[in-house]
Amino acid sequence: MTKSPVALIRSAEEAERLDDEEFDGEFLESQPFDLLDAPVIGRLLQWRHSRTLLQIPLLAVSVVMIFEGLLGPTLSPKNMATVLTWVHFRGALVLAILCAGNLFCMACPFMLARNMMRRWIHPRFTWPRSLRNKWIPVALFVLVLFCYELFGLWASPWLTAWVIVGYFAAVLIIDGLFTHATFCKYVCPIGQFNFIAATAAPLEVAVREPEVCDSCGTKDCIRGRRDASSPLVVLQRGCELALFQPAKIGNMDCTFCLDCVHACPHDNVGILSRLPAGELMSDPHRSGIGRFSRRNDIAALVVVFCFGALMNAFGMVSPVYTVESWLKHTLHFDSQATVLGILFTAIIVIEPALLLGLAAWITRAWAGVRNGWLAIAVRYAYALSPLGFGMWLAHYGFHFFTGLYTIVPVTQNAFAEIGWPILGDPRWTLVGLPKTVVEPIEFGFLLLGLAGSLLVAWRLAEDDSEQHPVRAFAPWGVLCLVLFVCCAWLMNQPMDMRATMMAG
């Protein structure tokens, strides 16, 4: 059938429009936003000492917090150590990941102390092969959450100060003995928290043009650069976390240290925009990590990240006290540690084992996925990461926003206490944003996490079962919804206003 002239013109216009859209699509795909190209901040980050510049203030604040924690007011809402650590630092950390990426690791004060130490002390050992996994951080992550509840760290400036001191000591001992970034990659629970959360971040350190890497003869991004005349002198470190840029995928294990950016002789590494959580939707081989689906240890970390978020929030709402007293009376346990141990085991071990096991079994039986149930559970466990992050965001965001201004009177007080009241009398009435403002934000974070988890689970299901993607997805979709409802219920409970003057 021949087309009329008008139809032909419309077809031509349509084709042109589609071409334009296709071109735009390709353009967007091949030209992501690169933070290093941004005015001012891009130039700053490209400066070789930018990381040190960010680390110095955090190191100074850490030292002040240690002194304030040990010698300052014993009441936690009046002490900088507790207020900064448990109100501001945690909230700022997760919000930075949501808006950009793993900025805390980038500005990590512990690494500045380590780098200073390594000017004089050169580690001689390599981390044992059997420990090159995430099982130690999984255990430490749970231990930190457990100690936080058991010792009420938010209420003790003295203990908080010793936690910071202990952290510095652990970094210096481990990285004083073992080469590369052993502490970051195989020990640090804060780092692992950041790595998992940053899988949902919008930015990633990545190669700008893969073809340039194909013809690159030096691979300095991982090897680093040495002085040609004295090869023992390192001019610029390569990636200490064993992430080779051309094969690096996603934010797992990346501390945003930017060593690869400074080492690459072709200026081929940027901080690029990407689809948040997109790295969880496929399972390629990743440099320094391997395939996610074969990393039971990282899957366990994600599970602890997600269910630990539930436990951590549960620990500060009033129903926890009812459950604890019921456990004490029914089982006749006097020890708080035992009661907490039971709660942690139930929420962080038994509950996920049952829920993920059941979902995996249904996926296998109903959608005909051939893998064993453990392999399926490991593969889909990664889909829980965005929801877990949403939960941490809602929880830490709650403390951050409701205690936002508490830093003002605490700083005024700290100056007054050292006999230099230049900031005036502490205004203890300054607290933070009202709950009516904060609660919708919390709910938005949860919804964002739920949407991310559902999308990841759907994409994995599509890959696993071409014939029955809905059947493969359904159990994980239901699991995400159940967890979302639990999170929403928890966030709806009256919460302890820990480390603020409104503390219960």
Contact positions vs ligand SF4 (CB under 6 A): 205, 207, 212-213, 216, 218-221, 239, 241, 243, 245-246, 248, 254-260, 264, 266, 268-269
How far apart (Å, rounded) are the C-alpha atoms in residues 483 and 386?
A: 12
∠ CA 176-85-152, rounded to 5°: 100
User: Could you tell me the CA-to-CA distances from 73 to 82, 166, 236, 397, 402 in Å, in that order?
Assistant: 10, 21, 44, 25, 22
**Least gap, CB of 38 to ligand SF4 (angstroms):** 17
Nearer to ligand SF4, 249 or 313 (CB): 249
**Least gap, CB of 405 to ligand SF4 (angstroms):** 34
The amino acid at residue 53 is L
Nearer to ligand SF4, 203 or 431 (CB): 203
Nearer to ligand SF4, 62 or 245 (CB): 245
**Least gap, CB of 223 to ligand SF4 (angstroms):** 8
Q: How many CA atoms lie within 13 A of 108 on its CB side?
A: 23
Q: Are 327 and 339 in contact (CB under 8 A)?
A: yes
Nearer to ligand SF4, 225 or 395 (CB): 225
Q: At what angle do helices 189-197 and 385-402 cross, to 10 degrees?
A: 110
Beta strands at 225-226 and 234-236: parallel, antiparallel or unpaired: antiparallel
**Least gap, CB of 219 to ligand SF4 (angstroms):** 5
Nearer to ligand SF4, 266 or 468 (CB): 266
**Least gap, CB of 371 to ligand SF4 (angstroms):** 30
**Least gap, CB of 251 to ligand SF4 (angstroms):** 8
What are the tokens at 318? 């009033």
Nearer to ligand SF4, 197 or 241 (CB): 241
**Least gap, CB of 102 to ligand SF4 (angstroms):** 9
CB burial of residue 35 (10 Å; 0-12, 13-18, 19+): middle
**Least gap, CB of 247 to ligand SF4 (angstroms):** 9
Give me the phi and psi of 234, to 5 degrees please.
-90, 120
CB burial of residue 274 (10 Å; 0-12, 13-18, 19+): middle
Query: Which residues have a Cβ under 8 Å from the Cβ of 478 and sit 6 or more positions away?
Result: 359
Nearer to ligand SF4, 118 or 266 (CB): 266
Of residues 178, 86, 85, 209, the one with CA closest to residue 496? 86
How far apart (Å, rounded) are the C-alpha atoms in residues 85 and 336?
A: 24
The amino acid at residue 439 is E
Q: Are 446 and 491 in contact (CB under 8 A)?
A: yes
Nearer to ligand SF4, 123 or 444 (CB): 123
Nearer to ligand SF4, 137 or 397 (CB): 137
How far apart (Å, rounded) are the C-alpha atoms in residues 49 and 53?
A: 6
Per DSSP, helices labelled H in 178-219 are 182-186, 189-197, 210-214
**Least gap, CB of 255 to ligand SF4 (angstroms):** 4
Give the residue carrying structure tokens 């805390």: 104
Give me the phi and psi of 255, to 5 degrees please.
-90, 5
**Least gap, CB of 254 to ligand SF4 (angstroms):** 3
Nearer to ligand SF4, 79 or 268 (CB): 268
**Least gap, CB of 388 to ligand SF4 (angstroms):** 22
Give me the phi and psi of 175, to 5 degrees please.
-80, -10
User: Could you tell me the CA-to-CA distances from 244 to 34, 37, 130, 248, 288 in Å, in that order?
Assistant: 19, 22, 22, 6, 7
Nearer to ligand SF4, 261 or 404 (CB): 261
How far apart (Å, rounded) are the C-alpha atoms in residues 104 and 475?
A: 35
Nearer to ligand SF4, 245 or 500 (CB): 245
How far apart (Å, rounded) are the C-alpha atoms in residues 78 and 426?
A: 10
**Least gap, CB of 194 to ligand SF4 (angstroms):** 11
How far apart (Å, rounded) are the C-alpha atoms in residues 480 and 453?
A: 7
